[in-house]
Amino acid sequence: MKKYLFSLIFIAALLLSIYYGTLKQGFHEDEYYTYYSTNRSLGLYQPDREWQDRQTVLDEFVVREGEGFNYGLVKLVQSWDVHPPFYYFVFHTICSFVPGVFTKWTGIITNLIAFAISFLFFALIMKELEAPLWVELLTLIFWGLNPQTVSCNMLIRMYAWLSAAIFACAFFHVRLLRLYDSGTKDYRKLFLTALLPIMACSYLGFLIQYFYIFFFVSIGFGCFVYLLFIRKDIRFTAVYVFSCALSLGLAIITYPSALSHMFGGYRGGDAAGSLFDFGSTWMRIAFFTGLLNDFVFGGGLVAVFFLLLVGILLKMTARNRKREKGREMSYKWLILIFAALGYFLLTSKSALLVGAASNRYEMPIYGLLIFLILEDAYYVLKDFDNMGFRYIFAAVIIALLLKGHIYDHRVLFLYPEDKEKTAYAAENSGEVAVVMFNPATPQNVWRLTNELLQYPKVFYMDEENLAPLTDPDVTSATKIILYAADNDLQSEAFKNLTTSCKNLTSMTVKFTEDMWTSYEIN
């Protein structure tokens, strides 16, 4: 019966993400970079006083015919940036099945595969920990249908796959503790059945996203303390530590660029600076806790926080279990709590602060935090020995879930405002399109990709080049759709354009977005 209920929840969560996928109208700039850095051809560039046709732009965001499954290029391009390559391998594989096609669905499908893996490991974690059915069902519903889980599936970046790696890491560690506590002293068997899966998971996790290390180190430290100081097993502790270190070492050997990314790259330097800036600690924790409250719990986190604290005390005393089993289970729970909070706090200290979009860094741990909160709430309510309290609590949780979707509209990365912009560009695809870019940040043209792909060709001009325009297709135009970047010389560039184009007399603002304004000039 349970597997059918879990299957229904999974199908409902999958359909919900697909529904929101149909609503996704645009892309975050980093999502464009996902397409570009995975499928690039010659390299995107912005010429001055030249035309660029649609195919030239499109070729940088799609797999061209005959160029699919080129993993060497994917790895090389990622080595130039600050990310490991595994996620991009998966995404490139999906894109290779539809060469020449630029669509949001390649990214969403890539994420939904990761979501299915996460769902499976999440169910296995709860089974290993013998969570009550009430907790399992409520957790999978609240996490699987949560606005931030859907947001993670909508964001075409590596965070859905990082979530899968973290869930897998948690499961394999909980499983390791169960096998170890079963009393076996066959270390060879433990290595093959428990440590080897941890090594494989951590090898891939590191190559998905470097933030994986925060969880791996946190849960590893908890296991280290348990094995060495509680079980006093020096030999197996050494084997465990060596195995974990070996998995990361093999990942670095496979992808040596990781070292320069973490310690020399701009993101690695920024992250390290934030991590060791103790003056910003409370501000950052408050910021990310606020995101957890507002975007995951619909503003109701304070209402369950007290239950969490009391529940932790109950876990430590194992009040509701037989003494010996309670002792073993309590350590598993404490290690998982330590790992989840460790990831949350370390990520809070090092992640970028970019408003609501910063949720992406904590999305991989939201599921475990939800599980731990609901599990502890269950045992607090169990002390009242009245199922009515649990029904009330479940109703509150579901109400918070619905509030996030219906009232707060907390699903991110949909960009509904882009629908009108793209439609306007398509309606005017026969007109002259001009992109006036800031030479200091030419890469920001990526933000316009969905709109620019509506035109057969686009004319590019450097805003700081004030030489008169001479291209006859531009100077003779009776209507121009202009995309202008923010720049101190913008007004002079406008004057240069209108002076060069004698048929243009009026200029109307059509849309504004971050760093860009679009105009219709007649």
Within-domain flag for 284: yes
Stretch 8-12: mean pLDDT: 98
Long-range contacts for 45-49 (Cβ within 8 Å, ≥24 apart)? 45/442, 46/435, 46/437, 46/442, 46/445, 46/460, 47/460, 48/460, 48/461, 48/462, 48/465, 49/460, 49/461, 49/462, 49/465, 49/467, 49/469, 49/470, 49/471
User: Domain boundary at 374, 407, 440, which?
Assistant: 407
* Residues 495 and 398 reside in one and the same domain: no
pLDDT tens across 297-311, in order? 999 988 777 766 666
3-state class (DSSP) for residue 481: strand
pLDDT at residue 182 in the model: 87
pLDDT at residue 489 in the model: 86
The edge-to-edge listing of strands for the beta sheet with 507-513 is 50-53, 457-462, 432-437, 480-485, 516-521, 507-513
User: Which burial class, exposed, middle or buried, applies to 74 when counting CB atoms under 10 A from its CB (0-12, 13-18, 19+)?
Assistant: buried
Long-range contacts for 230-233 (Cβ within 8 Å, ≥24 apart)? 230/331, 231/180
Amino acid sitting at position 112 = L
pLDDT at residue 438 in the model: 94
Within-domain flag for 55: no
Which has more pLDDT, 372 or 382? 372
pLDDT at residue 393 in the model: 84
Within-domain flag for 11: no
Q: Domain limits at 87?
A: 62-407
* Residues 248 and 115 reside in one and the same domain: yes
φ, ψ (nearest 5 deg) of residue 398: -65, -40
* Residues 396 and 425 reside in one and the same domain: no
Within-domain flag for 322: yes
Angle at 89 between CA 87 and CA 94, to 5 degrees: 100
* Residues 271 and 204 reside in one and the same domain: yes
* Residues 322 and 464 reside in one and the same domain: no
User: Domain boundary at 352, 383, 407, which?
Assistant: 407
* Residues 371 and 453 reside in one and the same domain: no
Amino acid sitting at position 395 = A
Percent of the chain with pLDDT over 90: 80
Conformation bin of residue 152: beta by default, left when phi > 0, alpha when psi is -120 to 50 = alpha
pLDDT at residue 270 in the model: 65
Question: What is the average pLDDT score of the chain?
Answer: 92
- Residue where the block lists tokens 């929840």: 9
The token duo for 482 is 């202009």
pLDDT tens across 118-161, in order? 999 999 999 999 999 999 999 999 999 999 999 999 999 999 99
For residues 334 and 264, the answer to whether their CB atoms sit within 8 Å is no
Least Cα distance to 450 among 412, 482, 420, 422 occurs for 422
Stretch 381-389: mean pLDDT: 66
pLDDT tens across 165-184, in order? 999 999 999 999 999 998 77
Conformation bin of residue 458: beta by default, left when phi > 0, alpha when psi is -120 to 50 = beta
Which has more pLDDT, 47 or 321? 47
For residues 413 and 155, the answer to whether their CB atoms sit within 8 Å is yes
pLDDT > 60? residue 403:
yes
- Residue 385 CA to residue 374 CA, distance in Å, equals 17
- Residue 514 CA to residue 485 CA, distance in Å, equals 9
> For the chain, what is the domain count?
2
pLDDT > 50? residue 354:
yes
φ, ψ (nearest 5 deg) of residue 356: -60, -30
pLDDT tens across 230-278, in order? 999 999 999 999 999 999 999 999 999 999 998 876 666 666 667 777 7
φ, ψ (nearest 5 deg) of residue 482: -110, 130
pLDDT at residue 325 in the model: 43
pLDDT band (50, 70, 90) for residue 315:
low
* Residues 380 and 425 reside in one and the same domain: no
- Residue 235 CA to residue 517 CA, distance in Å, equals 64
For residues 480 and 431, the answer to whether their CB atoms sit within 8 Å is yes
* Residues 462 and 487 reside in one and the same domain: yes
User: Which burial class, exposed, middle or buried, applies to 298 when counting CB atoms under 10 A from its CB (0-12, 13-18, 19+)?
Assistant: buried
Stretch 39-43: mean pLDDT: 85
Within-domain flag for 489: yes
Amino acid sitting at position 504 = L
User: Domain boundary at 386, 407, 428, which?
Assistant: 407
Which has more pLDDT, 152 or 314? 152
* Residues 232 and 154 reside in one and the same domain: yes
pLDDT at residue 320 in the model: 46
Stretch 358-377: mean pLDDT: 95
Half-sphere exposure of 291 toward its Cβ, with a 13 Å CA cutoff? 23
pLDDT band (50, 70, 90) for residue 197:
very high
Within-domain flag for 173: yes
* Residues 389 and 429 reside in one and the same domain: no
Got the DSSP string for 61-85?
TSPPTT-TT-HHHHHHHHHHTTS-S
Within-domain flag for 7: no
pLDDT tens across 47-95, in order? 999 999 999 999 999 999 999 999 999 999 999 988 999 999 999 999 9
pLDDT > 80? residue 478:
yes
User: Which burial class, exposed, middle or buried, applies to 489 when counting CB atoms under 10 A from its CB (0-12, 13-18, 19+)?
Assistant: middle
pLDDT at residue 392 in the model: 81
- Buried b / exposed e over 96-112, threshold 16 CB at 10 Å, is beeeeebebbbbbbbbb
pLDDT at residue 122 in the model: 98
pTM above 0.85, yes or no: yes
* Residues 277 and 143 reside in one and the same domain: yes
- Residue 254 CA to residue 244 CA, distance in Å, equals 16
pLDDT at residue 184 in the model: 75
The token duo for 439 is 């030479």
pLDDT at residue 309 in the model: 66
Query: C-alpha dihedral over 171, 175, 176, 179, to 10 degrees?
Result: 180
pLDDT at residue 271 in the model: 65
* Residues 393 and 435 reside in one and the same domain: no
pLDDT tens across 424-465, in order? 999 999 999 999 999 999 988 989 999 999 999 999 999 999
Within-domain flag for 403: yes
